[in-house]
Chain A
Amino acid sequence: MPSRWNLDHLMEIPPELPKTPAAQALALKVVTGMDLLRLKAVARLYARGLPPEIGWSDLLQEAFARMLDGSRKCPDGLGMVVFLSGVMRSIRTEHCRRARKRASRLPQMLAELGLADNPEGEAGDPAPDPEQNLIAMQLLAEVYRLFAEDPRALRVIEGLFEGLEPEQIRMKYDLSKTDYDSTRKRMRRALLREGLRWGGHDN
């Protein structure tokens, strides 16, 4: 329910708002309004687990900005939505890599400040990081919560997490093709609802 404060605040919105890169792309007819909503949902998905200062709208607008300034070019034959989703994925990877690098430097920095004893061999360790693994499991739990009331969807998620192909998921969980397809349809609806909901730029 909107509060009185919300309504007052919304009524103060001036007619001239800053134009986003996504709005520019829409004006240039590079994408449609429906494409923007698809990409909004993808941005919300990919913002999971990013450092708190990076929100879904940052991810989305950065992808559009890179496309508009020509630093990323859509290959011939590739749809714009798929292309921009790929750009968001790669921006996400950049942020994750940077965050991991910062974390791996921490022991060395602490040692330099005289706050830790044993910095040897810690920085840049490429071995699977238990903390990162734990974070991944927490993020997986968040995704599970989206489908908490749909046992078949949870099985499909589990299969995808294990890297199974659709046919293998069907075999493993004894799902008919119709069951599998209808489960995916429900999953898409839940993901879209989650992606389109009202909220700030980071959640």
Chain B
Amino acid sequence: MTIDNTARFERLLAALEHELTGATDEEILEAAGDLGMNPAMKGSAAFFGVTVDLRAKWGSYPGQPPDAPGGSARRGPKDDPSS
């Protein structure tokens, strides 16, 4: 295969980045609403991993004990606990 798919994929990511950086506040709030999140609320789950580093405190995210069988300190639940 002579086509460099890695470079093409990076180009795609850059185009999608452009979409995200250009998203309006309204679009962000709508998407958060779809997930049952309210970023205006203090302690909103939308900011976990952003303004709150729970991993540094416990070595894991809520929803998974650090010593969970088969889990690592980097895994967390897929579901939004607020929904």
Interface residues of A (CB under 8 A from B): 1-3, 5-7, 9-10, 13-14, 17-20, 22-23, 26, 33-34, 36-42, 45-46, 48-49, 52-53, 55-57, 60-61, 79, 81-82, 85, 89, 128-130, 132-133, 135-137, 139-140, 143, 157, 160-163, 184-185, 187-189, 191-193, 195-203
Q: Decide yes or no: A42 and B17 within 8 Å by CB, A10-B81, A20-B51, A20-B53 being known contacts.
A: yes
Number of A-B contacts (CB under 8 A): 200
- Are A34 and B25 in contact, with the CB atoms below 8 A? yes
Chain B residues within an 8 Å CB radius of A56: 49
Q: Mark B1-29, 1 if CB is under 8 A from A, else 0.
A: 11111101101111111011111010110
Chain A residues within an 8 Å CB radius of B9: 49, 136, 139-140, 161
Nearest-Cβ distance from residue B65 to partner chain A, whole angstroms: 8
Nearest-Cβ distance from residue B23 to partner chain A, whole angstroms: 5
For window 33-54 of chain B, which residues contact chain A by CB distance below 8 Å? 34-35, 37, 39, 45-54
